[in-house]
Amino acid sequence: TIFENAQEGAIRAAHEIASVIRSKQKEGRNAVLGLATGTSPINVYRELVRLHKEDNLSFKNVITFNLDEYYPMKPDELQSYVYFMHEHLFNHIDILPENINIPDGTLPIEKVKEYCLNYEKKIEAVGGIDVQLLGIGRTGHIGFNEPGSSNQTVTRLVKLDPLTITDAAKDFIKEEFVPLRAITMGVGTIMKARKIILLAWGEGKAKILQKTIEGNISDEVPASFLQQHPNVQVIVDQWAALEL
């Protein structure tokens, strides 16, 4: 769906997520959300906070799993995705802290593999992700699944692509401060979500969005695997849609 501007698109995405939360509430069940970071979802979270404050949207029945976290990364660092999620969403809603899951960037390296397997198991244990929110990186990454990530990949430690490190430099003052690795859900993990909402704003995303939607399905553009998912909604502004 192409919107005139990012703000309108973000509101639509937030309302889609809110309707999943509300319909699960009516059934007396938990809603399981897969959440993303980066600039793309910020206005989606802003609208969800507004719906919480002004329109009775409760997050008491919501369980969240974030896509990724830099490695290594301490939760209280400004660049951490833990910090980001609290600042933009969790501090402003009534979600129960025990229902928040974000990959742990503080683990010693020898514990990471088992931790990642458990992250997958935890998602399965609550019935899988109802709706997964995604941004897209200029490399075609979703989460931090960089080119070369197959559609079978699961939660794991990955190396960041040089272009991703360049793009992240704005948050870390200098490129050399950007962590070289991250823990991310896999493409396979993402593809198991029952519904996926992909966001892309601005001309800078136009090329990769075209490849994602109209290009070959290949691990050279991991986001292209979304073409094989039965329930994906791509929400973009007119600038990101320029090459479609």
φ, ψ of residue 101 in degrees (nearest 5)? -125, 125
For the chain, count helices (H), then strands (E): 7, 10
**Who's near 36: CB < 8 A, 6+ residues apart?**
66, 67, 133, 134, 135, 143, 199
Write out the residues near ligand GLP by the rule CB under 6 A.
36-40, 67-68, 135-137, 143-144, 164
Nearer to ligand GLP, 119 or 144 (CB): 144
Scanning the structure block, which residue is given the tokens 């639509």?
A: 12
Residue 68 annotated as catalytic: yes
Shortest reach from residue 197's CB to ligand GLP, in Å: 12
Shortest reach from residue 204's CB to ligand GLP, in Å: 8
Catalytic residue (one of 47, 52, 68, 69): 68
Catalytic residue (one of 69, 146, 161, 167): 146
Say how far residue 126 (Cα) sits from the centre of its chain: 18
Catalytic residue (one of 47, 52, 88, 141): 141
Scanning the structure block, which residue is given the tokens 């974030």?
A: 66
Residue 141 annotated as catalytic: yes
Q: In what order do the strands lie in the sheet with 62-66?
A: 2-3, 232-237, 195-200, 131-134, 31-35, 62-66, 100-101
Shortest reach from residue 54's CB to ligand GLP, in Å: 26
Distance CA 112, CA 99 (A): 21
Distance CA 72, CA 169 (A): 16
Enzyme catalytic residues: 68, 141, 146
